[in-house]
Each structure stands twice: as C-alpha cells, then as structure tokens.
Amino acid sequence: MSEKIQFVERQQLKEKPDPKDLGFGEHFTDYMLSFQYDADKGWHDLKIVPYGSIEISPAAQALHYGQAVFEGLKAYKHDGEVDLFRPSQNFKRINNSLERLEMPKVDEELLLEGLKQLVDVERDWVPEGDGQSLYIRPFVFATEGVLGVRPAKSYQMLIILSPSGNYYGGESLTPTKIYVEDEYVRAVRGGVGFAKVAGNYAASLKSQTNAAEEGYDQVLWLDGVERKYIEEVGSMNIFFVENGKIVTPELNGSILPGITRKTVIELAQKLGYEVETRHVSIDELFEAYDKGELTEVFGTGTAAVISPVGKLKYEDREIVINNNETGEITQKLYDNYVGIQSGKLDDPEGWRVVVPRYE
Ligand SMILES: *Cc1c(COP(=O)(O)O)cnc(C)c1O
C-alpha cells in the first residue's frame, strides 16, 4: 500500500446534514485534498486539509483568462464498504482537459491514491440511502497573479466532497423536457468542447435560462457549424432508440466524452443491444419520430446517471416521446447501471474500486 499523505486535522468536525434533505452539491465534508504546482517545483504538497475558504490573488489568471478545469464522480456505500466508480477514467480525462488549456498534467495514480485516503477519512459522510452518494469534485485552476496572457506558472488542485441525494428526489425516473437550442452553440471542433473546462458552462447559461423561461429543464446543443447535428445536453450525453437500435452522436472533438456514456455503451452491448455511434441530425430525429421509429430518448451523466427525455422542442414543434414515460430500454439500462454502482449487482468489469481502510 502507498504511503500515507500528510493530514492536517481540524479542531472541530462539522455537523452532518439531514440525510433526507441533501440536495445536490450543497453540503461539503470536513476535509479536502489539496495539491500545489509551481513551475520550479512541479506538483508538490499533496495533503488532506480542513475544508474551508482559500485565499487567492485578485490577479490570479483563472479569474481573468479562465484556466480552470474540473471533474465529477461519485462514491457509494454498501455493506459497510465505500466504492468509487471508474475513478481512473476521471483522472485520465482531467489530464486531457489540462493539456488542452496548457496546464500542467497530474500523476493519475498518485491522485487516485490521494482521493482514496481522503474518502477513507470521510467515510462517515457517504450517505447510504437509495440513490444517494458522495459526489466528488476534483478541479484545477491557475493561481499566478499576473495579468499577462500566457500559461500561468502556478496552479492549485483541490478535491472537495459533497454528500448528495437522489437526483430525482424519489424512486422512479422522471422524464425531462428538453429545448433544442437553435441560436447559440456550446462548442466547435478545434475548441474546448471535449474538455471539461469551466468556461464551457459559463457559455451555456444564457441558453439554459431561456429554456427554463419556456418551461424546459435542459438544453440540447446542435453542432457549432451547421447547427444541424445533435451534440449533447447541458451536462449529459444523449442517446436515442431508433428501430430498437441505440444511437448516440459519435465523439467529434466538440462533444464531452462522458464516462457514463462510455459505460452505457459497454453495458448496452453486453445486454445484447446494437449500439451505433454516428452523426445524428435533428431532421433525422424528427423524421424517425414521424415514422414511429423513435421510441426512446435518454441522457447520461454522473449527476443524473440515466435520465429519460419525455419532451423535445425544436423551433416551432414539440414532440412527446413514449407518452412522456420512461421507456423499456432506458429503464433496463438504468436498473443495471445503478445496480452495479450500488453494489446490488455483480461487477464483472471491475468498475467499482473499493476504498481501503488506512489505519
Ligand atoms: C461532465 C459532462 C458530461 C457527462 O460526463 P460523465 O463523465 O458521464 O459525467 C456530459 N457533458 C458535459 C458537457 C459534461 O461536462
């Protein structure tokens, strides 16, 4: 087993929130993992420290030029153990994001070890209720205080933890209403759409507000050039069931390569479904709907896991999918996915990674 990393203990532990009222990303645990980068030292000072405010230079480059990336994953508790779900995928992806923003890459194995030690310290914070989990948010931002536009020479990485509730607030899946954005775009090929970059979300908020004003939950983005091909939803990748086949847009550089997307594709294939990854135009989708061939639509992402789509609005037309009910394939994928995550089903692929008990 690896060496224990430095641990700075806090004076007093916080009071834990009511497990019946967790929400998403509202409560934070007692500790966080901190890692520092300076050009002359490289990454250094990996340690577990009390969760709390940090001091930052008003000239920190992240605040001005947006050198900031993040990740999101979850830990689950079952049978007295705590598991992470495919955590190596997240550290691999954060390095792709860091590389794109000309930020220094991190040691994936060292950080996974650091995360395990952090979650071990915080295992009492991992909620156990149905659909509940400990949401894990690693992020890196430029801290150097100079206003010249160039890659910063110092960075901070933090991993913070938030006990979170069932995204749906209940047992069953509730279909969402989606607005197809035909004016603004999220990303273009050659840009930063494939990277989990903070600014991608800043660019999406105006559309999100517009959609919410019209009564829709989320935005579906079209490609940035022709505004014709389907890319993804706010923080989810998108899937369609057409003629019994599962179809999802292929990764093209402007779509975020979701780990839930990848896992759902692997799971669907194992369950015997045919999965196609290819260009899907919005016109094709509406034509398939008119022919009765579009039977299900769902989104995938760490926060919501698998989320059925009940309504889709594009220009002047709204279509209702599967009577605004969760489809059979969506439900089956959800049950299998959540079953593996929560330890109720076998995990032949080794997606669950047990957090060891360090003494
Ligand atoms: C994080 C994210 C997703 C989902 O990725 P997962 O790895 O499945 O959580 C999808 N789209 C965007 C834009 C994202 O930022």
- Summarised one tens digit per residue, pLDDT across range 200-221 is 999 999 999 999 999 999 999 9
Residue 131 pLDDT class (50, 70, 90 cuts): confident
Residue 130 has pLDDT above 90, yes or no: no
pTM exceeding 0.85: yes
What spacing in Å lies between the alpha carbon of 236 and ligand 1's midpoint?
Answer: 5
Residue 71 has pLDDT above 90, yes or no: yes
Same domain, yes or no, for 189 and 266? Answer: yes
**What's the mean pLDDT when you consider all of the chain?**
95
pLDDT for 116: 98
Whether ligand 1 lies within 6 angstroms of the CB of 230 is answered as: no
CATH number of the domain residue 75 falls in: 3.30.470.10
What spacing in Å lies between the alpha carbon of 305 and ligand 1's midpoint?
Answer: 10
**From atom 12 of ligand 1, which residue's Cα is the shortest distance away?**
235
Same domain, yes or no, for 137 and 231? Answer: no
Same domain, yes or no, for 203 and 161? Answer: no
CATH number of the domain residue 180 falls in: 3.20.10.10
Last residue of a domain, one of 165, 193, 210: 165
Same domain, yes or no, for 22 and 135? Answer: yes
What are 248-293's pLDDT values in tens digits? 999 999 999 999 999 999 999 999 999 999 999 999 999 999 999 9
What spacing in Å lies between the alpha carbon of 128 and ligand 1's midpoint?
Answer: 24
Same domain, yes or no, for 118 and 12? Answer: yes
In a domain, 282, yes or no: yes
Same domain, yes or no, for 144 and 264? Answer: no
Residue 82 has pLDDT above 90, yes or no: yes
Same domain, yes or no, for 12 and 138? Answer: yes
- From 207, 302, 306, give the residue whose CB has the most ligand 1 atoms within 8 Å, as the site to mutate: 302
What spacing in Å lies between the alpha carbon of 264 and ligand 1's midpoint?
Answer: 13
Whether ligand 1 lies within 6 angstroms of the CB of 95 is answered as: no
Same domain, yes or no, for 104 and 149? Answer: yes
Whether ligand 1 lies within 6 angstroms of the CB of 301 is answered as: yes
In a domain, 334, yes or no: yes
What are 162-197's pLDDT values in tens digits? 999 876 655 568 999 999 999 999 999 999 999 999
Whether ligand 1 lies within 6 angstroms of the CB of 97 is answered as: no
* Secondary structure, 3-state, the chain: CCCCCEECCCCCCCCCCCCCCCCCCCCCCCEEEEEEEECCCEEEEEEEEECCCCCCCCCEHHHHHCCEEECCEEEEEECCEEEEECHHHHHHHHHHHHHHCCCCCCCHHHHHHHHHHHHHHCHHHCCCCCCCEEEEEEEEEECCECCCCCCCCEEEEEEEEEEECCCCCCCCCCCEEEEECCCCCCCCCCCCCCCCEHHHHHCCHHHHHHHHHCCCCEEEEECCCCCCEEEEECCEEEEEEECCEEEEECCCCCCCCCHHHHHHHHHHHHCCCCEEEECCEHHHHHHHHHCCCEEEEEEEECCCEEEEEEEEEECCEEEECHHHCCCHHHHHHHHHHHHHHCCCCCCCCCCEEECCCCC
Same domain, yes or no, for 161 and 187? Answer: no
pLDDT for 234: 86
In a domain, 45, yes or no: yes
pLDDT for 170: 53
Same domain, yes or no, for 112 and 214? Answer: no
Range of the domain at 214: 176-342
What are 312-347's pLDDT values in tens digits? 999 999 999 999 999 999 999 999 999 999 899 999
In a domain, 243, yes or no: yes
**From atom 10 of ligand 1, which residue's Cα is the shortest distance away?**
236
Same domain, yes or no, for 195 and 73? Answer: no
In a domain, 181, yes or no: yes
What spacing in Å lies between the alpha carbon of 194 and ligand 1's midpoint?
Answer: 10
Number of domains in the chain: 2
What are 3-61's pLDDT values in tens digits? 899 999 999 999 999 999 899 999 999 999 999 999 999 999 999 999 999 999 999 99
Whether ligand 1 lies within 6 angstroms of the CB of 238 is answered as: no
Whether ligand 1 lies within 6 angstroms of the CB of 192 is answered as: no
Residue 1 has pLDDT above 70, yes or no: no
Same domain, yes or no, for 77 and 140? Answer: yes
Whether ligand 1 lies within 6 angstroms of the CB of 72 is answered as: yes
- From 71, 196, 238, give the residue whose CB has the most ligand 1 atoms within 8 Å, as the site to mutate: 196
